[in-house]
Structure 1
Amino acid sequence: MNKIETLKKLNSYNKNTLMETLEIVFTDVGDDFLTAKMPVNSRVYQPYGILHGGATAALAETVGSSASAMFVDASKKVVKGLELSINHLKSKKEGFIFATARQIHKGRTTHLWEIKIIDEEGNLISICKLTNIVLDKK
C-alpha cells in the first residue's frame, strides 16, 4: 500500500470516534513514523482558554497506537495502549498541533513510541512516551 492509500485507510477509521470529534487527521507516514494533526480551538480548550492536556494526550495516544497497528497483522492481533506519559511544555491557543510518533522499541508483545507534538511554527508543545501491548485477537 502506498503512502496516500495508507493515510486514506487510517483516516477512514476515525468515523464516529473521539478522533472525529477532535478533528484528528493523519497527514504523513513513513517507514519509521506516523504524523497526525489536530486543530486548536474552543473544542479542545480547558477553562483558561488554552489547549487541554487531555486533548493533547488523546492525539498522542491516537498516533502512537495507530503506528503500532500498522506493524501487526490486524487479522490476528490487536493493539492497546498500556501506558502514556506526557510532559506539556508550552501552551497553545489557536492553530494546529502535529504529533509524530517514532518507534523506540518493537517487540513481539510490546511497542514503545516517542511522540513529539509541535505547532505549525515548530515549537515543541508536548513530548510523550507510549507503551502499547500487542495481543492475540480472540
Structure 2
Amino acid sequence: MFDFEPRFPTEHIGEVVNGHTIPDQFEVTQGRGVGVLAERMGVYFIELTPEYSLAVMPVEGNTQPIGLMHGGAYCVLGEAMGSVAANLHAWPKGGYAVGTDINATHTGSASRGWVTGECRSIQLGGTMTVHEIVISDAAGRRCSTVRITNLIRRRPDAK
C-alpha cells in the first residue's frame, strides 16, 4: 500500500525566494519527500511541522492561459502543505492522512515570481486534521486561502 519512492526536488536548493532560503528537501521533509505532483509544480518546503509549515512555488509554469496563477495551482500548494503536515502528525502514531475536503477562496492573482504558502493547523486530532493555508505573492499580498481536512487512517503495518 505504501510502496513509493520519495521525491526530493533539488533545482532551487540554496536560492533565496521571497526572503526565504530553500533548504535541502530531504532534511526538511524528514525523508518523506514532497510527492510527484508537488515536485512537478515546483513546491519547496522551507519549514515543516504538523502545526506550521512554510513553502514556496513558482508562478511560471503554473499559470492559466492569460498568464495569472491557475486557481488549481493554489489548491495543489495548499493540499501539498496540509497533507504533508497531517502525515507528520499521523505517522508517528501509526496512522496516515488522506484528504477528504479542500476548498479555496482566491482573493488576488500572482503573475510572476514565486508565491509563498503559510500553513497553520486548526485541528490535530486522532481521526482528523484541519489546516488553513494562506498563499501570498512576492509582495505579501494574499492571493488565496485554502482549507484542507484530512482523515487519519490506521497504517496496515502499524503495531
TM-score range, shorter chain: 0.7 to 0.9
Say yes or no: does 1:62 pair with 2:80. Answer: yes
- Note the residue ranges of structure 2 that are not aligned, 5 or more in a row: 1-22
Structure 1 SS opposite 2:53: strand
What amino acid is the match of 1:126? S
Moved over 3 A (4+): 4-7
Contact between 2:59 and 2:112, CA under 8 Å: does it hold in 1?
A: yes
Aligned mate of 1:8, from 14, 17, 27: 27
Any conservation in 2 of the 1:36–1:98 contact (CA below 8 Å)?
Answer: yes
1:85 matched to 2:113: no
- List runs of 5+ in structure 1 lacking aligned partners: none
Relative to the length of structure 2, the TM-score reads 0.75
2:45 aligned residue: 26
Aligned residue identity for 1:65:
S
Shift of 1:83: 0.3
Q: Is the 8 A contact 2:101 2:149 kept in 1?
A: yes
C-alpha distance in 1 between matches for 2:74 and 2:30: 18
> Which aligned pairs between 1:1-138 and structure 2 lie closer than 5 A?
8-10=27-29, 13-14=33-34, 17-29=36-48, 32-41=51-60, 43-74=61-92, 76-138=94-156
C-alpha distance in structure 1 between counterparts of 2:153 and 2:110, whole Å: 36
Deviation at 1:112, TM superposition (A): 0.8
Whose relative contact order is higher, 1 or 2, with alpha carbons under 8 Å and at least 6 apart? 1
RMSD: 2.2
Between Structure 1 and Structure 2, how many residues are aligned? 133
Whether the aligned pair in 2 keeps the contact of 1:22 and 1:38 (CA below 8 Å) is yes
Percent of counterpart pairs with the same letter? Answer: 26
Letter in 2 for 1:67: A
Amino acid at match of 1:14: V
